[in-house]
Amino acid sequence: MRILLVTQYFWPEEFRINDLAAGLQERGHEVVVLTGIPNYPGGEFYPGYSLFNPPRQAHLGIQIIRVPLVPRGKATGFRLALNYISYFVLASLLGPFLCHGDYDLIFVYQLSPVTVGIPAILLKWLKGAPLLFWVQDLWPASLCATGAVTSKWVLEAVRHIVRAIYSQCDRILIQSPSFSPMIISTGGDATRIRYYPNSVEQTYRPMTTESDLAQRLELPHGFIVMFAGNIGAAQSFETILSAAALLKENQNIHWVILGDGRMRPWVEAQIADRGLGSSVHLLGRHPVDAMPRFFAHADVMLITLKRDPIFSWTIPSKIQSYMACARPLVAAVDGEGMRLIEESGCGMACPAEDAHGLAAAILDMHGKPKEERERMGKKGEEYCKLHFEREKLLTKLEVLMSEVTRKNTRPGATLL
C-alpha cells in the first residue's frame, strides 16, 4: 500500500509517529511523509536545515517531503500561530506539486494544530484517496484547557474548522475511548470513529541499573521520583512543586525532571522561592534512546496533569512508556490515566492537582519494600504488552486501513 502521511512533526523531531511510519515501512508499505522543517521543541531550525534546503529526504526507507514554515521560536501566542498557519498554508499550496503519483491512503497524525487536516483534505480530493485522521489532541477543547485561547469568537471559528475537517474523514482514529463523545459533538460521524491507542516505541524496555552508567552520575543519591516530558501548562507543575514542598524535610526524597518547555523559567523561579534546590533537580532534555536508562534508576515514575475534562479523557503517552520500562508509577491524574494505573496495578494515583494526595502517595511508595515496587512495575509491563504492543497495533492499523481502501481501490492499486 502506498501511504501519504501528513504531519507537521516528524524525524528528526522526536514523536511517536516516527516509529509508526517505520513500522509500516518494515511491513512492506511505501510511506511518503509530508511535513515541515524540524524546529520542535527548541523553536529554531535543526542544524543542517533551512528554508532553502531541498524539500526531499529519506530516513529508514521513508521518503520525506518538507515544506517551509515559520519556526515556533519561544512559542508565544503570535509566533506559534504563525508556525501553525505557515505549515498548513504552504503544505496546501506545495503538497500537490511535491507529492507525486497516486496514493492508496492519506493518513493524518493530528497533534496541535488541527489545521494539519486542511492540506490532507485537499490532497484527498486531488488524489481520490481515503483519509484516516488520527486524533491525539482535541481541538478546540485543548485550547481552552491550556489557556492558549480565551476569545469565544476564535474558539467558535476553530470549532467550525474542526467540524469541516471531521466531515471529510473516512475514518477518525482516537487515542482514547473517552474522545468519542467530544468528536461526535464536534461533527464526527460515530460510525467512522475507531479506537486506536498509541503503541510503545521499541526504545522503551526494561533496563538494568549498572553502576557505571553515565545516567547514574547525573542523578542524586536517595529515593528518586522521576518525571520525563514537557514542562508545560498542561503538566500542572504547581502540583509537583507543592508536593515537593510538603516533603522537603525528608532529605532522602529527590524529584528529578527530565525535559524542557515553556514553563521551565517559572519552575526554576519557584524552586528558588520555595527553597527546593536540594530536592528538585532539572536535568534538561535528553535523547529518547537514553530515557529507559534513566528510568531504570528511578524508584518511581511521576505523571501529573491539570484538572480539566480534556485531560481526564486523554491517555498520556508517558504512562505507556513508563509501563513498558517496568517502572512503578505515582500519578496525580483523573479519568483515563487513573483508570489505567488502577486497572493494571502498576502504581498509585490520586486526583489531578491534589498536592497533598501526591505527597502522601510518594511517602507511601517510599515506605514500601523495593520488591513490592518492582512487582508493580512488572504488572505495568505485562499490561502494556497486552494492550499497547507495537506489532499488535500495527496489525490493527492495517485492518483499519483496509476497511477504507477496499471501498476506494483504483484500477491497478495493490493492497498488502
pLDDT given for residue 213 in this prediction: 62
Whether residue 64 is found in the same domain as residue 161: yes
Please tell me which residue, 211 or 28, carries the higher pLDDT value: 28
The alpha carbon of residue 75 and the mean position of all alpha carbons in its chain are separated, in whole angstroms, by: 17
> What's residue 211's pLDDT?
46
pLDDT at residue 143 greater than cutoff 80? no
- Whether 207 is in a domain gets the answer no
What are the Cα distances from residue 238, in Å, to 149, 194, 269?
Answer: 21, 35, 12
Q: Are 258 and 157 within one domain?
A: no
Pick the range with the lowest mean pLDDT from 136-150, 302-316, 385-399: 136-150
* pLDDT tier for residue 412 given thresholds of 50, 70 and 90: very low
**pTM of this prediction?**
0.85
Residue 204 lies inside a defined structural domain of this protein: no
Residues 146 and 218 in one domain: no
Q: Looking at the structure, tell me whether residues 171 and 295 fall in a common domain.
A: no
Specify if 44 maps to a domain: yes
Give me the pLDDT at residue 317, please. Answer: 87
Confidence of residue 84 (pLDDT cuts 50, 70, 90): very high
The residues pairing with 128 across neighbouring beta strands, listed in sequence order, are none
Within a domain: 227:
yes
pLDDT in tens, 94-119: 999 999 999 999 999 999 899 999 99
Check whether residue 179 and residue 63 sit in a common domain: yes
Give yes or no: residues 28 and 153 share one domain: yes
Number of compact structural domains in the chain: 2
Instruction: Give 279 or 416, the one with higher predicted confidence.
Output: 279
Confidence at residue 110, expressed as pLDDT on a 0 to 100 scale: 94
Q: Which range is least confidently modeled, 59-63, 127-131, 201-205, 338-342?
A: 201-205
pLDDT tier, 411 (very low <50, low <70, confident <90, very high otherwise): very low
Q: What is the CATH number of the domain that holds 343?
A: 3.40.50.2000
184-193 pLDDT, tens digit per residue, is 999 899 999 9
**% of the chain at pLDDT higher than 70:** 95
Residue 369 within a domain: yes
**Local structure of residue 177 (DSSP, 8 states):** G
Q: Does 177 reside within a domain?
A: yes
The pLDDT confidence band at residue 408, using thresholds 50, 70 and 90, is low
Query: What is the pLDDT confidence band of residue 210, given thresholds at 50, 70 and 90?
Result: low
256 and 139 part of one domain: no
Residue 302 shares a structural domain with residue 351: yes
Query: Do 85 and 112 reside in the same domain of the chain?
Result: yes
Domain, as residue range, for 302: 214-387
Confidence of residue 214 (pLDDT cuts 50, 70, 90): low
Rounded Cα distance, 274 and 288, in Å: 31
Edge-to-edge strand ranges of the sheet holding 56-59: 56-59, 62-67, 30-36, 2-6, 105-110, 131-135, 171-174, 193-195
Are 394 and 377 within one domain? no
Q: Does 256 fall in a domain?
A: yes
Share of the chain above pLDDT 90, in %: 75
Q: What are phi and psi of 205, to 5 degrees?
A: -155, 160
Angle, vertex CA 83, rays to CA 79 and CA 86, nearest 5 = 125
State whether 133 and 29 are in the same domain: yes
Asked if residue 268 belongs to a domain, the reply is: yes
Q: Are residues 221 and 174 in the same domain?
A: no
pLDDT of the residue at 152: 85
pLDDT tens-digit series, residues 379-402 = 999 999 999 999 999 999 999 999
